[in-house]
Amino acid sequence: MTAFLASLRRSQPVDLLAAALSDRVVLAILAVLIALALIVPGQAAVSVRFVADALVSVLPFLALAVAVAGFAGASGADGVIARAFAGNQVQAVVAAALVGALSPFCSCGVIPLVAALLAAGVPLAPVMAFWIASPIMDPEMFILTAAGIGTGFAAVKTLAAVSMGLFAGYVTLGLDRAGALRSPLKQAPRRGCTPSVDTGAAPAVVWAFWHDPARRARFRGDVETTGWFLAKWLTFAFLLESLIVAWVPSDWIAGLVGADSTFALPLAVLVGMPSYLNGYAAIPLVSGLLDLGMSQGAALAFMTAGAVSSIPAAIAVYALVRHRVFALYLALGVAGALLSGLALDLSGIVL
């Protein structure tokens, strides 16, 4: 991705094309389109139009999301996150869950921060609360979820992220006080997709960052990186949604994960854990499934379980902590997702 973005400024068209074709998501998009063109030409044209229309409709929200991410990094607002972990553990869990649900960190970008906090001796309970809540929701995710599914669903997903963080934090606190979770950290991880936060003195927040050339450069770099990341994943997701709309029988979806299905919630979690692409890609996919009869609780369970325990996120966690902490992380994510989905279905609220 870095090579591709750097080439936007200085390379010839041929070099730009070569850089784009080195991206696996771009290759996956092209592979699907080529396969459709060869096997089902009519559907290829329909899917291209579907993707184009969907991207145009979400463009204003995408631009806003990218600007929010760039501002957070350039102003230094993300540096205040480490301050939420100080003090009494019971209070720290609350702060960590709230900050986790509102912070701009992705599931891989949070890994260096978690490692730094654990290595510095921060208790596992608030770290776990932050760790569970962070990949479920962030400002960009809220904006795009509101645009793709609805503001009500985005608000409920935010509440679920905070609730799951609190649940994970207090369960971990109880186990830690019982002596079951000593020395959680296995090894220092590699740098994630966003800069780690220093657990020492946090840098001052500069809201008017544009007066500083270095911060302006950080903003430009973050906007380019985030914009490219979101654009390619949303394109891939809209392409998959076009195929779901065309080929997945609505009766089958309604029967499997619909409101009348006894096993809708566990099936949504089991499917979401391995197949979840990423939070942004899941938005149009879940929107399409909801239109085909998926229950709201199952949709929430799919998105929350997938964000916490998808294969990429799980691998990153496994590389960082000991086996018992990894197992606890997965168990808390799955249990929290099931409880969140069940609570939404039992509430009877129509979003």
The pLDDT value given to residue 250 = 63
The pLDDT value given to residue 78 = 58
What is the chain's pLDDT, residue by residue, as a tens digit (351 residues)? 444 455 445 455 555 566 667 788 889 999 999 999 999 999 999 999 999 998 888 788 778 777 877 887 788 775 565 565 666 889 899 988 998 888 776 555 566 667 667 766 778 899 899 889 988 888 888 998 999 999 999 999 999 999 999 999 999 999 988 888 877 776 544 444 444 444 455 557 888 889 999 999 989 988 887 788 778 878 887 888 888 778 877 667 666 776 667 788 888 888 777 655 566 777 887 888 888 788 899 999 988 988 887 665 676 677 778 888 889 999 999 999 999 999 998 998 888
The pLDDT value given to residue 197 = 44
Q: How far from 217 is each of 31, 210, 241, CA to CA, in Å?
A: 35, 9, 36
* Collapsed DSSP state (helix, strand, coil) of residue 311: helix
Q: In residues, how long is the chain?
A: 351
The pLDDT value given to residue 138 = 83
The pLDDT value given to residue 253 = 66
Q: Identify the burial level of 183 via C-beta atoms within 10 angstroms of its C-beta, where 0-12 means exposed, 13-18 middle and 19 or more buried.
A: exposed
Q: What is 87-101 written as a DSSP string?
A: S-HHHHHHHHHHHHH
The pLDDT value given to residue 135 = 83
The pLDDT value given to residue 9 = 52
> What is the distance between the alpha carbons of residues 287 and 32, in angstroms, rounded to a whole number?
21
Q: What is 266-281 written as a DSSP string?
A: HHHHHHHHHH---HHH
The pLDDT value given to residue 232 = 84
The pLDDT value given to residue 323 = 87
Tokens of 313: 């996120």
Tokens of 125: 């309970």
The pLDDT value given to residue 165 = 95
Please give the torsion angle defined by the CA atoms of residues 274, 275, 280 and 284, in that order, rounded to the nearest 10 degrees: -150
